Amino acid sequence: MARRTLTDTIQKLELRRDEIENKLSAHESYKALQAQGNQGARTEFTDPVKLEESLDKINNKLATLYRQKGI
């Protein structure tokens, strides 16, 4: 089985970090939603606290990997 290089792992985590930051930015723009009619509108949100926790974990992993790589 092929192993990821340090650079590959860093790139993957940086991509995931960027995705989470984008979700958090998008989430900030929602204050309220209101459904009209009787069609049963449904909206799903990701818990911003969980996104922040994930972001913290990724940033910690990245900091460790950056130190290993000497960045």
Residue range of the domain that includes 66: 1-21+47-71
Q: From CA 64, how far away is CA 69, in angstroms rounded?
A: 9
Phi first, then psi: what are they for 51, rounded to 5°?
-65, -40
Rg for the chain (alpha carbons), in Å? 18
Domains contained in the chain, number: 1
Q: Residue 9 pLDDT > 90, yes or no? A: yes
Residue 7 included in any domain: yes
The per-residue pLDDT for range 12-37, each reduced to its tens digit, is: 999 999 999 998 887 766 655 555 66
Hey, what are 58's tokens?
């990724």
Hey, what are 33's tokens?
């939603």
Residue 71 included in any domain: yes
Q: Residue 1 pLDDT > 60, yes or no? A: no
Residue 37 included in any domain: no
| Cα atoms found within 13 Å of the Cα of residue 29, Cβ hemisphere only | 4
Q: From CA 53, how far away is CA 56, in angstroms rounded?
A: 5
